[in-house]
Amino acid sequence: MSENAVVFKGTKEGLYILIKEDMDLDKIKYNLNDKIKPSKRFFEGAKIVNFKGKKLTKEEFEELKELVENDYGMLVLGEYTQDSDMLTDKEDAKEHMNYEKLPYDNVVQDKVLMLRATVRSGQLIEFIGNIVIIGDVNPGAQIKATGSIVIMGTMRGVAHAGSNGDYGAYVAALNLLPAQIRIGDIITRSPDGLGVRTSVPEMAVVKRGMIFVEPYLPNR
C-alpha cells in the first residue's frame, strides 16, 4: 500500500491527517497503524485538528476518531461536517485538487522560504512551512521548520524539521554533516550515523521511530 495514502501535516493550529480520496476505511486504518505504531510514544498526546482530503461519512469519522484517541492516545479537536469534505477553506480545496493531479508520489505542497546566503553561527532561521537554503549552514547555526529542510550546500549546524510534529518531514543536503538533526520529537546527533562525508547528497528521514540517513536520489 502507498506510504503516502495517509499523511500527517503540521500547521500552526496543530496536526491534520490527510487521507487520499480512493482509500476505504480498512486501508485508512491499516495506513494509520503503519504510520503511528512504530512511533506511538511520540504521537501520544498529539492534537489532531481534523481529517482532510477524503470525504468521510459520519460513521467513518467517528470510527477513526475513536481509533486515534483510544488506541493511540491522541485528541481529535474537530467535529464532523457533512458538506465541508473535511477541508477548511477554498485554498485548502485548491491545494488538495492540485495534489491529486500531480503524477508523482512524495509530493507535498506548502509554503516555502528560500534563502540564498550562508547561515552563520548563532543565527536561527525559523519558518512555518518548508525551508530551502542555497548556501552553507555553519556550526552553531539553527534551522527550524514545520515542514522539510533542504540545504543546497553543507549542513553543519542544527536542523529541526517537522517542528509541529510532522514525522513525514525530512532534512536533505548536498553535504549532510550536522551537529544535530531533529524530526518531530525524534533527535539524533553525531556520530550516530551522521557527520560522515559522502560523495552523494543525503536526506534524513524517520523510519520505524528512528532517524535514518540515506541518499536522496537512491536510483541515480
State the residue range of the domain holding 82.
6-101
Structural domain total, the chain: 2
10 Å CB burial of residue 161 (0-12, 13-18, 19+) is buried
Which ranges of the chain have pLDDT less than 50?
1, 84-99, 191-193
Q: Which CATH number does the domain housing residue 195 bear?
A: 2.160.20.70
Same domain, 96 and 125: no
What pLDDT, on the 0 to 100 scale, is given for residue 142? Answer: 95
Domain identity same for 17 and 75: yes
Q: What is the pLDDT of residues 52-90, one digit of tens each?
A: 888 888 899 999 999 888 888 888 888 887 654 444 444
Q: Under a CB-based contact definition with an 8 Å cutoff, are residues 156 and 139 in contact?
A: yes
- Give the C-alpha separation, 199 to 179, whole Å: 19
Are β-strands 171-176 and 149-155 bridged in parallel, bridged antiparallel, or unpaired?
A: parallel
Q: Calculate helix-pair angle for 25-36, 58-66, nearest 10 degrees.
A: 20
Q: Are residues 88 and 158 in the same domain?
A: no
CA distances from 91 to 61, 97, 132 (A): 22, 10, 23
Considering the domain architecture, whether residues 38 and 60 belong to the same structural domain is answered as yes
Amino acid symbol at 133? I
Peptide bond into 218 cis (omega under 30): no
Residue 220 in domain? no
User: Within this chain, do residues 69 and 121 fall inside the same structural domain, yes or no?
Assistant: no
User: Which of 41, 72, 101 is the endpoint of a domain?
Assistant: 101
Give pLDDT, residue 180. Answer: 93
Contact between 36 and 43 under an 8 Å Cβ cutoff? The reply is yes
